[in-house]
Amino acid sequence: MISRILNRLQSIFIKDKSYRDTSFNQHWWRIILVTSLGITAVVWGSRELKWLQSWELKAYDQMLRSRPIKPPDSRILVVTITEEDLALTKWPLSDATINQLLAKLEAHQPRVIGLNIYRPQQQNLGQDLEKPTNIIGTCVLSSMGRSEIPPPPNFPIENIGYNDLIPDSQEDQIIRRALVFAEPTDQKCATQFSFAALVAINYLEQEDIHVDFAQHNFRLGKTIFPILSANAGSYQDINARGYQILLNYRHPNELAHTVTLTQVLNHQVNPHWIKDKLVIIGTTAASVHPGLYTPYSAASQQPTRTPAVFIHAQIASQLLNTVLDKKPLIWYWPDWLELIWLGSWSLVGSVLGWRVRHPLLLVVVGGITLAVLVGICAGLFLQAGWLPLIPPALALIMSGASVMTYTTYKTQQQTQVMLLQVEQQQEAIEQLNILLQETQATTATTALYDLHSHHDSAIVTPEKSTSDFLLSGRYQIISVIAAGGFGRTYLAQDTQRPGNPSCVVKKLMPARRDTKFLQVARRLFNTEAEILEVLGKHPQIPTLFAYFEIDEEFYLIEEYIPGHTLHEELPPTENIKSEAFVIEMLKEVLEVLAFVHEHRVIHRDIKPTNIIRSIKDHRLVLIDFGAVKLMQPASSEETELATVAIGTRGYAPPEQFAGHPRLASDIYAVGMMGIQALTGISPQELQPDPETGNVMWREAAQVSAELAEILDKMVCYHFGDRYQSARAVLQDLNRISHLICTSSSK
């Protein structure tokens, strides 16, 4: 079972290891590769032009919001100054109120206090405190159109961090990055560290973990914080000045314990929330500052803007988590690896577009593949990996749609050509039939060619040696496989291909040599060869390598399929096959037949001796096609003479012998093979119902009602009562196959 699945997968993507690799498949792989490379270039170029950046960042925000919620950071306490607090006092808070707040907190021995409120005029900040050095103040760096805001004058610069936050583009203004370190350019706000980084560093220093900038890397102890590049992740050419990191947000509802100014002043805070903790003080009142946008601004049940104090707490928490809890920072691939990632999904889309030709099915399969892509990106994001999502998704969709559109267009063109060739074929058949009837109306030799299968009979000894015969200066004849009055089939070697591989040479001799007959025969031969050339692109149909005419004799050079015919597998009466075997046999033949019928070609002679079980992969291969053997003389296999069609008694339905074959005629033949496998009785021995004309066979087989109904519909006497397409039979077989296989295994 496993080997059969592997063979099936191989047939989907490789098809065959014969000469087809150097003809048809290379052509399609070239289309796939060119499309993949083209779409990759287009999407990558769009990305470089920042056309996709807003989409990518929205996808990033969504993945950030979709992560599981973690418990609050117990090392941090946020003291907020709310609108309710301001109703009890005025803004800005008085120096006395600030010092009172600091004194209340200091009484419970916090490790570090961060005051995220501007105090440029306060001369006595932290006055009378036992440990004023554990208080971190803030200032604001100058920028275009804005002057610096200096720190409290009585505080050393080592206890000052700048309050600046970096929003993304002017379009969304979302804070996704943290500036933790920058070279000072101001006179008063001359600190190197951001407020959030400095409070975290001071907290860690009390655990003997120190900051280090060796080799231009920001380190806290042994933990390295890689600097954010201008093209980090899905960013394109951002302002990466200073030392920036991606902000790995906690869920806002579970950031840290939060209390208000009034609660602290009124002793309404659990002392354990303060002792040995990092306390960050800041305002949340919208009347003071409206807040900033974050990835959670688009989340339901979250405010549109987030107070800056919470963003600083997020940054500080991230630094502590990375150093103390070994939580990974958000990482991303370099550009060259992201390009490979993008190209790989473009290639996947191209392959899907090539293999799945039906638009609705492509939407379903493409949707599943897209879900896999989203799942991979989301899964890696849970491990802090930021992989591009939008570009590969676009490449997947665009390449799949492009290849499917192109293949559909080429298939329509090919179908139109095939329809024209089939029409020309039928015209030539009718003309040949008229010519033969004029001169041989009373004979049984109304044949154009004798084209036997190269597996239909044993090797015949030729009347003269053929080993020295080199046909067309290329094909070394090895032996005669089959011979008749109007043609021969040889096993040969192609001397112009590497390794001199085996092939089959079919020599077709016209029944008459007059000019008019040869002219029509030549037209039929060329048309039929062109049809066989197209059909041979299927992995379960021999490839037509060449066709030509020499001395008014026609030659077909086809792929040699080593193996045995299905006739050798079908049973005598004491060795009938199981339903599971029959279903698999029918499905495999019908899959090939569906391809043939899609090109509006009727095989006309489906029977066990025209189906080979290949030694290479154990697949069934359908051989001996069509009109080149029309009006063939009688043979040991009781090939029926017909005016416009050929067939074998027992396998060919009535309308085919009447000269009017249809697609349903081939379905009849496949159904008779299924009945033969179940009953062990040759189709020629089965009797029809006198009233309906339908074959009577059920009493000779032990078969489920479901399979019997399908076979009965396949072999109805009147073609209008049968399945009208191989796909319809396959659909019913697939519906019952699981049930049949399950019951047979019990």
**Per-residue pLDDT tens over the stretch 56-66:** 999 999 999 99
Show which of 560, 575, 608 is a domain's final residue: 560
**Beta-sheet pairing, 135-139 with 112-115:** parallel
* Separation CA 415–CA 413 (nearest Å): 5
Whether 587 and 543 map to the same domain: the answer is: no
Residue range(s) defining the domain that contains residue 461:
443-560
With bands split at pLDDT 50, 70 and 90, how would you rate the model's confidence at 591?
very high
Catalytic residue among 85, 450, 605, 617: 605
More confident of the two residues 520 and 353: 353
With bands split at pLDDT 50, 70 and 90, how would you rate the model's confidence at 459?
very low
Q: Is residue 506 part of a domain?
A: yes
pLDDT in tens, 173-213: 999 999 999 888 889 999 999 999 999 999 999 999 998 87
pLDDT in tens, 329-374: 999 999 999 999 999 999 999 999 988 877 888 899 999 999 999 9
Summarize the confidence of residues 418-429 as an average pLDDT: 62
Total count of domains within the chain: 4
pLDDT in tens, 88-121: 988 999 999 999 999 999 999 999 999 999 999 9
Whether 317 and 372 map to the same domain: the answer is: no
In the chain, what are the helix, strand and coil shares in percent, each to the nearest 5? 45, 15, 40
Q: Is residue 86 part of a domain?
A: yes
For the chain, give the mean pLDDT.
83
Q: Burial level of 455, CB count in 10 A (0-12/13-18/19+)?
A: buried
State the pLDDT at residue 335.
Answer: 93
Whether 312 and 200 map to the same domain: the answer is: yes
Whether 151 and 135 map to the same domain: the answer is: yes
Show which of 510, 532, 560 is a domain's final residue: 560
Q: Map tokens 């000779």 to a residue.
A: 700
Whether 582 and 644 map to the same domain: the answer is: yes
Asked if 372 contacts 389 with a C-beta cutoff of 8 angstroms, the reply is: no
In CATH, what number is assigned to the domain containing residue 447?
Answer: 3.30.200.20
Q: Which of 732, 677, 717, 736 is nearest to 701 (CA)?
A: 677
State the pLDDT at residue 411.
Answer: 72
Q: In Å, how far are 380, 577, 655, 708 from 584, measured between CA atoms?
A: 41, 11, 28, 15
Q: Burial level of 477, CB count in 10 A (0-12/13-18/19+)?
A: buried
Of 31-45, 306-320, 630-644, least confident by mean pLDDT is: 630-644
Whether 105 and 202 map to the same domain: the answer is: yes
Whether 25 and 105 map to the same domain: the answer is: no
Q: Is residue 421 part of a domain?
A: no
Residue 624 has pLDDT above 90, yes or no: no
With bands split at pLDDT 50, 70 and 90, how would you rate the model's confidence at 23?
very low
- Does 605 qualify as catalytic in the annotation? yes
Give 96-114 as a 3 state SS string. HHHHHHHHHHHCCCCCEEE
Show which of 560, 577, 593 is a domain's final residue: 560
State the pLDDT at residue 132.
Answer: 83
Q: Which of 321, 290, 181, 198 is nearest to 243 (CA)?
A: 181
